[in-house]
Amino acid sequence: MACVLLTGGNGYIGSHTTAVLSERGHDVIILDNFSNSGRDVPDRLRRLTGKTFPIIEADIRDTATVTAALAEFPIDAVIHFAALKAVGESEADPLLYYDMNIVGTIRLLEAMQARNIRRIVFSSSATVYGQPDFSPIPEDAPTRVQNIYGRTKLVMENLITDLARTGKLLGAANLRYFNPVGAHPSAMIGETPAGVPNNLMPYVCQVASGIRPFLQVFGSDYDTPDGTGVRDYIHVMDLAQAHAAAVEHLLANDTAFTVNLGTGIGISVLDLVHAFEHANKRKIEYKIVPRRPGDVASYFANPEAAEKLLGWKARLGIEEMCRDAWVWEAKRGGINDV
Ligand code: NAD
Ligand code: UD1
């Protein structure tokens, strides 16, 4: 059993990973500045797991506070979720993204080095592939970042890989997530997007709950089976299990690796709408509108490396993703007939 510090552990993917690590018998310490997550999450996690997780309220760039905090616990490994993640915002404020994501990661790694904590799992993104030549995408596909958010992810991956190559880190895992969706099946934790959702599943949920009248489907003239954009949606619980598998692998082996985390299944926008309607017996009104600038027609993972290396593969399908996303949304919105 390990003691794992989760930066950004109060956020969407971090909170689900906290629940899974705890269930697998690990001790979890959360470090978060609450800039993009609710003050209610720690209590939700306590009710869900029956445990209270120590929380360090700090910004990852604050080396002195983080170093001092790391001394308080016998930390074996860090999972580094804390970051800014909005593509549009990264283009509007590049320095903010370079500072928070890259400088923040350097400061965290300095604090880890000062405390001789030498294993890290990093939240990367399939966005590093940009416009892929083909799908399913293997990890050795070219990286062609198309925006500043994606560039910060690639720089952080390289930074971590270099520290592992030079022996500064003993274990390093870059996990390239495809499109995380859904929520814990208990509906006690989930995703809470601020304002109008950018991403498809949260938007569909808000159409289902009546907050938004209809979904805008961004383009139906792509070179895909039904003309709408194809993505690899992955249930956040599967993603959380992958983090636990990655940490456990790093604790057992001194190694560095980069793997895709996806299902390997391409789902179109209309596939997702129909799966949602079927799973939840709710009608999703939609209108076809022009393409969203910057969108890629289709991408999905080749997930074989993660299975071979970690013995992990995604188990939950699009119906479960739609069901769990909706139950969370409905419960938050006070809708009782779900
Ligand atoms: P999130 O915003 O829900 O969680 C991030 C957490 O980090 C939040 O609790 C926030 O308060 C905290 N945080 C942000 N900046 C911080 C800082 N400087 N110091 C301390 N805490 C800070 O995001 P998420 O969806 O859970 O994503 C987690 C990670 O996964 C991010 O690195 C993100 O880039 C990456 N990722 C997310 C997706 C996705 O679709 N959600 C896809 C690919 C990669
Ligand atoms: C976006 C981000 C990516 C990030 C990912 C997280 C961009 C350009 N990319 O990717 O960096 O890692 O989210 O999951 O922002 N769609 C609609 N209507 C909507 C919303 C989306 O039709 O209201 C379509 C999109 O055109 C796309 C699909 O749904 O075909 C998925 O979109 P989205 O959930 O935003 O994810 P990505 O574009 O893959």
**CB-CB contact of 172 with 160 (8 Å):** yes
Predicted local confidence at residue 283, as pLDDT = 97
Q: Which ligand is nearest to the CA of 101?
A: 1
Q: Is the dihedral of CA 101, 106, 111, 113 positive or negative?
A: positive
Ligand 2 pocket check for 231: Cβ under 6 Å: yes
Q: Is residue 93 part of a domain?
A: yes
Alpha carbon distance 108, 112 (integer Å): 6
Which amino acid is present at 233?
Answer: Y
245 lines ligand 2 (CB under 6 A): no
246 and 324 fall within a common domain: no
Q: What is the pLDDT of residues 38-50, one digit of tens each?
A: 999 999 999 999 9
How many independent structural domains does the chain possess? 2
CA 74 to ligand 2 centroid distance, Å: 39
Beta carbon of 298 within 6 Å of any ligand 1 atom:
no
Residue 194: predicted pLDDT:
84
Q: What local confidence, expressed as pLDDT, does residue 334 receive?
A: 66
Ligand 2 proximity of 218 Cβ (cutoff 6 Å) = yes
Q: Residue 178 and residue 300: Cα distance in Å, rounded?
A: 7
DSSP, collapsed to helix, strand or coil, labels residue 66 as helix
pLDDT of residue 297: 95
- Distance, CA 107 to ligand 2 centroid (Å)? 30
Q: Which domain holds residue 323?
A: 200-231+264-332
Strand boundaries in 186-330, DSSP class E? 215-218, 230-231, 233-235, 256-261, 267-268, 286-289
User: Are 219 and 126 in the same domain?
Assistant: no
Ligand number with the minimum distance to the CA of 83? 1
CA of 261 to the centre of ligand 2 (A): 17
pLDDT computed for residue 137 by the predictor: 98
Task: Specify the pLDDT at position 195.
Answer: 87
* pLDDT confidence of residue 337: 63
Domain assignment present for 250? yes
pLDDT of the residue at 322? 98
The reply to whether 89 and 225 lie within a common domain is no
Q: What is the largest CA-CA distance in the chain?
A: 56
Span from the CA of 242 to the centroid of ligand 2 (angstroms)? 22
Nearest-atom index, ligand 2, CA of 228: 30
149 is catalytic: yes
The atom of ligand 2 lying closest to the CA of 87 is 15
Q: What is the pLDDT, as a whole number, of residue 48?
A: 97
Same domain, 211 and 101: no
Q: Which helix (H) or strand (E) holds 74?
A: none
Q: What is the domain-level CATH number for residue 48?
A: 3.40.50.720
Nearest ligand to the CA of 97 is 1
The atom number, within ligand 2, closest to the CA of 149 reads 11
On whether both 254 and 325 belong to a single domain, the answer is: no
Q: Is the pTM for the entire model greater than 0.95?
A: yes
pLDDT of residue 193: 85
Spell out, as residue ranges, where the chain has pLDDT lower than 70.
334, 336-338
Phi-psi region of 200 (alpha: psi -120 to 50; beta: other; left: phi over 0): alpha
